Amino acid sequence: MKKVITVLTAMILALSLGACSSRDPAVMLKDDVSFRLMDALKVTNQTTNTVYYYYLASVDNQSQEAYSMDSLSFKVTDEANDDIHAIDRKQTIIARSVQPSHSTLVYGYTGYPNNDQKHMGLLFPKNEGFIPFDAADLRQISDRNVRYSEQNAFTLYEDRDFAFRVDGSEASYSYENGSSWVRGLIITYENKTDDRLVVPYITPLCRLTGIRLADYSDKGDLKSMNEDELRKVDFRTDGMAPRTQTYDGTASGYECLYLDPEMSLPCRIDFQFEGVIPDFANYNPKSLTIDLNSAALGYSQELYIPY
């Protein structure tokens, strides 16, 4: 009898362990429409004591009618659905509707103060489904691997999975059609693995400390002038240097959400400042800056653009 009890206990234990380890990376949103977690990444920042969770998922429609992505509802939380206050979040849906026999991707991240949260994942309130991030073999990186450099071209981050390389050596200033432009910053993202990976991409900011042309309408039709003409305008008032302010540029053409296996993707980022120019007569090497910013990695480094 003892042998039978021992065998039954071992079987129950094995089944229990099997149930714990087979965490399903997919839930059904409705009949024949599934949501599957493809990749998940935990970014720990020990300097700022924060943690970010990035995820890449697919919505696959095998039904006979289109699935509206407006119906998709989920949130990042723990398995107990505790009230965890986020400090940052983003979600990008590639398509608004998924046609029959098609699929689309969902990208996002959420950042929290690092309180040693456990069993984090995606909770679906409508059907009480839960996908833990470790169902997709949760990868982990930290701010320990970021690099700072005094060069304009360098590797910002590298580990066994990723390399993020910055090249600002060709970044330059110009004025065209009423706007200042900074063009030529390139950030290259490299996936070293055989898997499709979600990317904690860098969000560069560009700032110009300069003159708003609309404030100097008495100097002529400034917006119609070219760069050479503007450089010759005397913006002084009663012998005083012009008043300058700091303006944020508008970035164009840039989002790197994921990388296919063994993919290297160079991303060119340009910045526009409409109706704003540097103070050409009073050159300051720090008037035009690009901040290579990442909240998740706690990274910030400036590149200075000559003008």
User: Residue 273 corresponds to which tokens in the numbers above?
Assistant: 């400042």
Domains of the chain: total: 2
How far is Cα of residue 45 from the mean position of the Cα atoms in its chain?
15
Is 191 part of a structural domain of the chain? yes
Is 10 part of a structural domain of the chain? no
Structural element, H or E, at residue 29? strand 26-30
My answer on whether 212 and 121 are in the same domain is no
pLDDT at 140: 94
pLDDT at 7: 36
For the chain, how big is the Rg over CA atoms in Å?
Answer: 26
Which residues on adjacent β-strands are paired with residue 34?
Answer: 28, 60
pLDDT at 84: 80
My answer on whether 150 and 272 are in the same domain is yes
Beta-carbon contacts of residue 232 (< 8 Å; ≥ 6 apart): none
My answer on whether 137 and 158 are in the same domain is no
My answer on whether 136 and 188 are in the same domain is no
Is 67 part of a structural domain of the chain? yes
Domain boundary among 141, 170, 196: 141
Residue 49: which domain range? 24-141
pLDDT at 19: 36
Q: How far is it, in rounded angstroms, from Cα 95 to Cα 67?
A: 10
My answer on whether 64 and 199 are in the same domain is no
My answer on whether 124 and 185 are in the same domain is no
DSSP string, 51-111: EEEEEEEEEEE-SSS-EEGGG---EEEETT------SEEEEEES-SEE-TTEEEEEEEEEE
My answer on whether 150 and 101 are in the same domain is no
Residues 204-258 pLDDT 10s: 999 999 999 999 999 999 989 999 999 999 999 888 999 999 999 999 878 899 9
Is 12 part of a structural domain of the chain? no
My answer on whether 276 and 154 are in the same domain is yes
73-89 residues labelled b (16+ CB within 10 A) or e (exposed) = ebebbbeeeeebeeeee
Is 17 part of a structural domain of the chain? no
pTM, 2 dp: 0.86
Domain boundary among 118, 141, 164: 141
Is 1 part of a structural domain of the chain? no
Domain boundary among 93, 125, 141: 141
Instruction: Report the residue count for the chain.
Output: 307
Is 2 part of a structural domain of the chain? no
Is 203 part of a structural domain of the chain? yes
pLDDT at 2: 40
* pLDDT < 70 stretches in the chain: 1-22
